[in-house]
Amino acid sequence: MSENASANAHPPVMADVAAKAGVSHQTVSRVINNHPNVSAKTRVVVEAAIAELGYRRNTAARALVTRRSETLGVVAHNMEHFGPAHILLGIQEAAHAAGYAVNTVGLPDVSERAIMDTVEYHLAHQMDGLVVIAPQEEIVRAIERLSPGVPLVAIGDIGAAGVQNVGVDQQRGGYLATKHLIDQGHRKIAHIMGPVDWLDAQARRRGWEAALASAGLEPGPLLVGDWSAESGYEAAKTLIDNGECTAVFVANDQMSLGVMRAAYERKLTLPRDLSIVGFDDSPESGFYYPPLTTIRQDFAELGRRCVGMLLDGIAGNDPLFSVRIQPHLVVRGSTGLRPTALTRS
């Protein structure tokens, strides 16, 4: 804090900033709230006064006037997984850009009681809006019965009536992954899906099935993992030992890493003997060996759309109930043309 601020008997207030900058109280308010009707020159002067005085906006006082906390509540579960964790990062970035804080509370489990308690906690702390990261069926069933009294947006491929939601088109992602393998000439394409109660896992599986059906192909083997590299490794050992497929669509990048390990142990060369497509485009996927072909989800855009829907609701605008963000195929070295036979080095 500056010497001027520390010498004051009280922390600097907006009137002090206005006096220092030689502008009105209203002009300072406009600068703080990023109002467009402020000249660049005036904005610079006011921001310099704010910095010199060490002014901090009193959000508690503002909340008494506006009846808004300028804070969004997030209900989350399974944050150790790549998708939910990066969804939260996208929300935080978008909220902060809009001048909102984010208060995140993790669910101890996905029971209806836990979800209700977490929502009540947020409401008791006067959140202006709520986000529920809803990757599992139990969470969706619970939020369908919620009436929080503030705007609520669920993130996920939920399809719940009356609930605003935004999510990546997971089925489209599964379709793109499988279509890429079909275009490479593969005809026996397996799938390692995520946990069966995860909506994203279900949608990615449906995309795999739809792409095969559109090409007149029968689904290859279907195995279930738990998103971990270990589960991908165990599933891949079964696939490779049976020798039934030349390609596999894996429901996330981490399980794909386990598939690569199993292939290496069985002396398969990728992608000559086996092609692999993952999902997520995690930061490490480009450094796998070979680099992983995968499906990219735009978590930043997901966060922006989610926060935008909440802000519209807070402002009293008509709600947009469902938004789907398109995923993109990222082609790298883990996929290639179908081999004439499954060979070993």
Confidence of residue 50 (pLDDT cuts 50, 70, 90): confident
For the segment 166-196, what is each residue's pLDDT rounded down to a tens digit? 999 999 999 999 999 999 999 999 999 999 9
For the segment 126-157, what is each residue's pLDDT rounded down to a tens digit? 899 999 987 888 888 888 887 788 899 989 87
* Residue whose C-alpha is closest to residue 57's, from 92, 111, 93, 101: 101
C-alpha count within 13 angstroms, C-beta hemisphere, residue 1: 13
Residue 205 pLDDT > 90, yes or no? yes
Domains of the chain in sequence order = 3-57 (1.10.260.40), 68-168+298-326 (3.40.50.2300), 170-297 (3.40.50.2300)
- The rounded distance, in Å, linking the Cα atoms of 198 and 209 is 17
SS3 220: coil
pLDDT > 90: percent of the chain: 52
For the segment 311-330, what is each residue's pLDDT rounded down to a tens digit? 888 888 877 778 899 999 99
Residue 1 pLDDT > 70, yes or no? no
Cα dihedral value 332, 333, 335, 340, nearest 10 = 150
Confidence of residue 11 (pLDDT cuts 50, 70, 90): confident
Task: Give the relative orientation of helices 40-53 and 25-32 as an angle to the nearest 10 degrees.
Answer: 90
Q: What pLDDT does 123 receive?
A: 86
Contacts of 304 (CB under 8 A, 6+ apart): 90, 94
Which of residues 208 and 95 earns the better pLDDT score?
Answer: 208
Which range is least confidently modeled, 8-12, 81-85, 97-101, 236-240? 8-12
Contacts of 49 (CB under 8 A, 6+ apart): 17, 20, 21, 55
The answer to whether the beta carbons of residues 250 and 174 sit under 8 Å apart is no
Which range is least confidently modeled, 131-140, 219-228, 261-270, 277-286? 131-140
- The rounded distance, in Å, linking the Cα atoms of 106 and 157 is 20
Token pair, residue 285, equals 């996927």
Cα dihedral value 60, 66, 70, 72, nearest 10 = 120
Beta-strand relationship, 294-296 and 328-330 = antiparallel
Q: What pLDDT does 143 receive?
A: 83
What's phi and psi for 135, nearest 5 deg?
Answer: -85, -10
For the segment 60-118, what is each residue's pLDDT rounded down to a tens digit? 445 444 455 789 999 988 778 888 888 899 999 998 888 889 999 888 887 888 888 88
Q: What pLDDT does 133 receive?
A: 86
pLDDT, mean over the chain: 87
Which of residues 260 and 59 earns the better pLDDT score?
Answer: 260
Residue 34 pLDDT > 90, yes or no? no
Q: What pLDDT does 327 receive?
A: 97
- The rounded distance, in Å, linking the Cα atoms of 249 and 173 is 11
